[in-house]
Structure 1
């Protein structure tokens, strides 16, 4: 049987050695010049569970840190929700609370899976019964499946929120959002199939686990391009119609959309890269960091967008309270119509800016 020296591994990872004698006498290997005991376990089995524990520890640590940031952004976004809301704005509010509940559920599940993974390694070191280790592994797998399903739902909620914003900005045109809606559906199906097709005993994915993340990158790229492109086109047409520079609010909206999308893209790409690396302790740590990052940024990105938009409107309201009028064109200092106006066939006399950027991006 291949064996591994646990004390050398524990010293390498800067963890305390086990000084208490916890194994049967037949499994003890005393070192002639040390008071600690060295344990002999199956090397391949120990390596598998050790890497799994490293993954869980680093994923939980990253998730906990980012969850604190997300909770702060969530509280800031509640100030917007306290104002009188239009019927369409209720969709953003419901989605926001749903995302927060899902993020909290993921945080709880991470604590559970991490505790179980540590206990599995402890049982392996203490040479407990095989039945005990298998029972713990089955429990761990159940929590892991639940966690993945929650992430799929959370990601779907965020994508639907971006889809609805795109739908509003394009003047409620269903044909525009048909392609991204299909992409969201494919992403959800791939995420569920990858989760349920995983063999917990052989640790084999029968479908490439990177598939849903790659599809998610494509989905968000389409949504960001459609949304930012529409706002940019409106800015261009205003400049042509009035023969002057368009309000700087348009450039700010495009910038916020691109920044929010870029943050999420980067996390998804890191996740794909981490899942493509050869198995090792270092790759397990990197995968844990990228997983925790991705699962929380999916909530941070849209919430940060609405907070930035709201405070941007607040700053503009503090600098000016007047209205600026041009013939046939109305700009309100605290408003920006990005939903139904400025189609190519419309004239300048039919353009009116009504919604604030925080109303459009509110979540």
Structure 2
């Protein structure tokens, strides 16, 4: 059942990645290459983690076979070799997960940076939190798996990831909502509704990832790390981590957000120059993405 769910999430991600690649190929803008590279990197990282998961499962079956045949740990050299391989691959999977989070959160930070009019001050704290999360993730993956299993409570890293994503979600959606207040003065109601769609897309995609982290944290807090439900959430997280940003790229690519405006869209002014400037900035942000 666990592998079926992982395959399902991975299949959804592959479909979304193909749609996103097709949409980016037919779009123009300065950020197209960056978004295409991020989409490819997320698909590659997700594929690598699935491959490692399958290999670890095969090694677990091999360990079970050796156990049935009487090969005991740590007397049997064959059993020791297989177990060490499984540990190393588990470490590699955790390192890939940390790298994956670095890529996806960097994309979210870049989106927040654009929405806030390329203001560096807004993204300083999220960047620092992402750096701290990445360092703790790498240390935890190496120390906990290969050196000291009690080096760091893994919940700390996931809580940091959760806080970073909630902050980026609040900053981005809150800024777009604030811009919408000004856009009401200069845009027709049909265009204003597109701002509501953008906020809904960001909240929906962010909620998917944040809720999956919360469910995982609850599962490891109330039960053993080896329970089936915990393993399911742990295995699904890498795929959900990639589905959230890819889904946004897909929605923007098919024109379901304000980024769907073509280059010929014009705005009718009903207020002062400041409101018009907000509208032009919003339009530039999503045309570039």
TM-score w.r.t. structure 1 length?
0.71
Tell me if the contact between 1:313 and 1:356 (Cα under 8 Å) persists in the aligned partners.
Answer: no
Distance 1:126 1:307 in 2: 51
Distance 1:316 1:200 in 2: 46
| Corresponding residue for residue 303 of structure 1 | 246
Distance 2:223 2:171 in 1: 36
1:126 Cα offset (Å) = 1.4
Distance 1:290 1:106 in 2: 14
| Corresponding residue for residue 221 of structure 1 | 166
Q: Which runs of 5+ in 2 are unaligned?
A: none
| Corresponding residue for residue 210 of structure 1 | 155
Distance 1:132 1:323 in 2: 68
| Corresponding residue for residue 169 of structure 1 | 115
Distance 1:199 1:259 in 2: 34
256, 259, 268: which one aligns with 1:326: 268
> How many residues were matched structurally?
283
| Corresponding residue for residue 117 of structure 1 | 60
1:88 Cα offset (Å) = 2.5
1:62 Cα offset (Å) = 2.8
1:271 aligns with 2:213: no
Q: For residues 209-239 of structure 1, give each alpha carbon's deviation from its aligned partner in whole angstroms, at most 9, with x where no partner exists.
A: 1111100000000000000000000001222
- Residue correspondence of structure 1 range 69-84 to structure 2 within 5 A: 69-83=12-26
RMSD: 2.9
Q: Secondary structure at the match of 1:210?
A: helix
Q: Which has the larger radius of gyration?
A: 1
TM-score w.r.t. structure 2 length?
0.87
| Corresponding residue for residue 10 of structure 1 | none
| Corresponding residue for residue 236 of structure 2 | 293
Judged with a 3 Å threshold, the aligned counterparts in structure 2 of structure 1 residues 317 and 180 are, in CA distance, closer, same or farther, namely closer
Judged with a 3 Å threshold, the aligned counterparts in structure 2 of structure 1 residues 142 and 186 are, in CA distance, closer, same or farther, namely same
1:347 Cα offset (Å) = 2.2
Judged with a 3 Å threshold, the aligned counterparts in structure 2 of structure 1 residues 200 and 315 are, in CA distance, closer, same or farther, namely closer
| Corresponding residue for residue 230 of structure 1 | 175
Distance 2:204 2:122 in 1: 22
- Greater helix proportion: 2
- Greater strand proportion: 1
| Corresponding residue for residue 85 of structure 1 | 28
